[in-house]
Chains A and B, each alone.
Chain A
Amino acid sequence: MQDRLLLLRQLRAQRVTRIWLVTSGLVLLGLALAGGSMRLAQASGGNLFSADVFYEVMSVHGSGMVVVGLMAGAGVLWYLVSNEIELSVTLNRIVFLLTLTGLVMIVLAVMVFGYSSAWTFLYPLPEHPGSGTATAAIGAAGYLIGLALAVVGFLLWCVDFLRAGLKRCGSLQRLLGFYVFRSAGHGHEGENDSTTTNPSLIAGTVCAILGLSACVIGALIVVLMLTSLVFPSLTLNALVAKNMIYFTGHTLANLQIYVAAGIAYSVLPAYTKRPWRLSRALVAGWLATLAIVMLAFFHHLYQDFAQPEAVQWVGNVVSYAAAIPPMTVTIYGGLVLVWRSGIRWSAAPLFTLMAMAGWAIGGFGAVIDSTISLNQFFHNTLWVPAHFHTYMALGVMFFLIGATYHVIPKLTGRKMNENVGRRAAALMGFGGYGLVLCWYISGSMSAPRRYFYPLSGTEVLAWIAVACAAVALTGAVMVCKDLIDVFLASPHYNLPEVASSLELAPSEV
């Protein structure tokens, strides 16, 4: 009976993860194509579509990428650790439905009601967009409710992760691995103890704790802005609203890469045949991340002279400090794991290592921009999308694709095509770095971001960027097509061999 229940749980976990992967893959590809069309419209000098449509596409692309990138990563990490902690399958289904509903509402708010105030939705722009859109209030309300649904989805994921992790480890200190500081060795003792933690669990826990804070603040500002929409006489303090929005927005966007790091801790050891061990450096790194990530958002507020000066310094120092834990723990740790391991460069480890490169390069671009004196030049230039696309498109997305190649055989019993994966990695790497390089150069020439037209003198770079985006998108389409082919050709469930004797009706799963 116990075996049967365990098998049922495994199959349900497989099913919900398959749904996450297919949906996320298709939505991310659609959003990437939307981003490409924006670039094409800009390079063509506004001939492809109007400025209004440009800002609508920008709003969907930005919001959708943050929501789906985070939730897809959370879905994959959920599956990878679901055998170690008792995560709720039902809750994961609810999270999926909330995310999907939220995303549909965001798309409707933009496409039908003309919301176009970007993911930042700075108060009071959404309700007073200035373009005279008659449906601005409905669009703003739809967008905010959609965003709130996705945020609540992630909130539930965080609560469930902490609940299950605490159930396994017994206390927050053990779940975060703090016991390594008091052991005589480096924390390797008692690895077979069922109450010990591991790197993926630590990463997930840190993300869940940070996510809780971000989601609560995010939900609060959304409720306040919705109330202000319904009762226009209620005005908000614009600076508090901005602080709350950027605290939530920056933290959730940043968490994508940390969720992805948790995924890498599970994926890479399978190919290097070496465990990613718990160490004092790793635990200290994640402890630092826990404290630092929440404070890093102040680097978005340098131009707000009304903020206290001390906060700007906190933003600068903490943004520098934020680079140290991933560089010394995850990226260095990953390289050490690979070094002389005799690894076979299949698509999963290839994308994972490329993702680490994207994280390091994009993170360095972010550190440059977080320097107060340099931010005077780079603030709201194309340098900003350049650095975050480096560590999101060439970091988070590569982590996710690598993880997809890793989990697909477990979910379907079939492998994705390795040759397609390697070719796609080459196309996405070449096209992706070409694209962001054009933006880095344009940004250093003070080309503003979120402008419908390219800055005079950067037109050629805009066209090169479009060409590079097309190359990268070709790689993305290849991966997605392969993913769909595998799902269409595979059976509904991948039954473990030991469990084939147990009979299950499809309706039970």
Chain B
Amino acid sequence: MVAGLSAQSLVVHHFAHWLWVVAGAIVGYQFRDLVMVPGRTLLAWAGLAAAFAWHLPPLLSWAETNQAAHIFAHATLLIGGGAMGWAVPQLSGARKAALFIGANVVMWPLVLAELANAFVYPSYPGQATTAGVAELVAMPLAWLVLAFWGPLRRGLARPGATNAVLALFAMAALVGWVLPF
């Protein structure tokens, strides 16, 4: 279902990418205290770069036309998300802030180019502007999540909530990606 919608809509495709990243982050978060290796800051930035890179037109088009590249893209999104989920909780406040603000800053050139239809996604003709608008809406939401992260985290820390979110992701993965294959 998600794969089908992704093939038709660039916004859904971008959103599906973020689901991969979030899924990876949830898994990575479970290993935050178990795996102790240096370079968490670097890995967090690398994870962020991986999450952004596949939204650039040349890379997205490459992944669209090449099955191996597509699998590689999804793998890097998952691993990148995992790297962030593992690394970010252990970073200092200043480094977390730099990562969050950096992500915001990087988003703007992408959004402005998409809005002006300067980015051409061959598989999604004329859809770049819609994606730009969707990203515009998403950015303020990210700040809201940051502002209310404390209560959100407390809510998600309840076993019932965590299990529900994991079940939702499992179902989405099953319905969206496994069944169509």
| Contact, CB under 8 Å: B147 / A178 | yes
Taking the closest CB of chain B, its distance from the CB of A424, in whole angstroms, is: 40
Whether A244 touches B139, Cβ cut-off 8 Å, given contacts A178-B146, A308-B132, is no
Residues of B within 8 A of A306 (CB): 116-117
| Contact, CB under 8 Å: B143 / A166 | no
| Contact, CB under 8 Å: A244 / B109 | yes
For B147, give its contact among A181, A209, A240 (CB under 8 Å). Answer: A181
Q: Which of B12-20, B65-73, B89-97, B167-175 contacts A (4 or more CB under 8 A)?
A: B89-97
CA distance A172 to B132 in the complex (A): 27
| Contact, CB under 8 Å: A169 / B93 | yes
Whether B136 sits at the interface, judged by CB under 8 Å, is: yes
For A237, give its contact among B96, B108, B118, B144 (CB under 8 Å). Answer: B118
Taking the closest CB of chain B, its distance from the CB of A86, in whole angstroms, is: 13
Q: Which residue of B lies closest to A177 (CB)?
A: B147
Q: Which residue of B lies closest to A288 (CB)?
A: B140
Residues of B within 8 A of A247 (CB): 108, 112
Whether B164 sits at the interface, judged by CB under 8 Å, is: no
Interfacial residues of chain B within 49-76, with CB under 8 A of chain A in the complex: none
Q: Which residue of A lies closest to B151 (CB)?
A: A182
Whether A182 touches B150, Cβ cut-off 8 Å, given contacts A308-B132, A308-B133, A314-B133, is yes
| Contact, CB under 8 Å: B150 / A216 | no
| Contact, CB under 8 Å: B140 / A216 | no
Residues of A within 8 A of B37 (CB): none
Interfacial residues of chain A within 188-219, with CB under 8 A of chain B in the complex: 209, 212-213, 216-217
Whether B113 sits at the interface, judged by CB under 8 Å, is: yes
Chain A's interface: helix, strand, loop or mixed, by majority?
A: helix
| Contact, CB under 8 Å: A216 / B144 | no
| Contact, CB under 8 Å: A166 / B136 | no
Q: What 1/0 flags go to B128-146 for Cβ under 8 Å of A?
A: 0110110010011001101
For A239, give its contact among B93, B101, B116 (CB under 8 Å). Answer: B116
| Contact, CB under 8 Å: B108 / A171 | no
Whether A291 touches B93, Cβ cut-off 8 Å, given contacts A209-B104, A240-B113, A308-B115, is no
Residues of B within 8 A of A136 (CB): none
Residues of A within 8 A of B132 (CB): 308, 311
| Contact, CB under 8 Å: A216 / B105 | yes
Whether A295 sits at the interface, judged by CB under 8 Å, is: yes
Whether A290 sits at the interface, judged by CB under 8 Å, is: yes
Across chains A and B, the number of contacting residue pairs, with CB separation under 8 Å, is 103
| Contact, CB under 8 Å: B118 / A239 | yes
| Contact, CB under 8 Å: B108 / A217 | yes
Q: Which residue of A lies closest to B154 (CB)?
A: A182
| Contact, CB under 8 Å: A295 / B150 | no
Residues of B within 8 A of A182 (CB): 150-151
| Contact, CB under 8 Å: B116 / A240 | yes
Whether A367 sits at the interface, judged by CB under 8 Å, is: no
Chain B's interface: helix, strand, loop or mixed, by majority?
A: helix
| Contact, CB under 8 Å: B147 / A176 | yes
Residues of B within 8 A of A175 (CB): 97
Taking the closest CB of chain B, its distance from the CB of A416, in whole angstroms, is: 38
Whether A170 sits at the interface, judged by CB under 8 Å, is: yes
Whether A469 sits at the interface, judged by CB under 8 Å, is: no
Taking the closest CB of chain B, its distance from the CB of A162, in whole angstroms, is: 7
Residues of A within 8 A of B113 (CB): 237, 240, 243
Residues of B within 8 A of A237 (CB): 113, 116, 118
| Contact, CB under 8 Å: A167 / B109 | no
Taking the closest CB of chain A, its distance from the CB of B171, in whole angstroms, is: 31
| Contact, CB under 8 Å: A181 / B148 | yes
Residues of B within 8 A of A244 (CB): 109, 112
| Contact, CB under 8 Å: B115 / A243 | yes
CA distance A217 to B111 in the complex (A): 11
Residues of B within 8 A of A292 (CB): 140
Whether A287 sits at the interface, judged by CB under 8 Å, is: yes
Residues of B within 8 A of A173 (CB): 146-147, 149-150
CA distance A220 to B108 in the complex (A): 11
CA distance A213 to B96 in the complex (A): 17
Residues of A within 8 A of B108 (CB): 213, 216-217, 247, 294
For A291, give its contact among B97, B115, B144 (CB under 8 Å). Answer: B144
Taking the closest CB of chain A, its distance from the CB of B102, in whole angstroms, is: 9
| Contact, CB under 8 Å: A209 / B118 | no
Query: Taking beta carbons and an 8 Å cutoff, which residues of B are in contact with A?
Result: 93-94, 96-97, 100-101, 104-105, 108-109, 112-113, 115-118, 129-130, 132-133, 136, 139-140, 143-144, 146-151
The contact sample of 17 A-B pairs, CB cut-off 8 A, is: A166-B94, A166-B97, A171-B93, A178-B147, A209-B104, A217-B109, A237-B113, A239-B117, A240-B118, A244-B109, A244-B112, A247-B112, A294-B108, A295-B140, A308-B132, A311-B132, A314-B136
The 5 A-B pairs of least Cβ separation, nearest first, read A171-B93, A291-B140, A239-B116, A172-B97, A308-B129
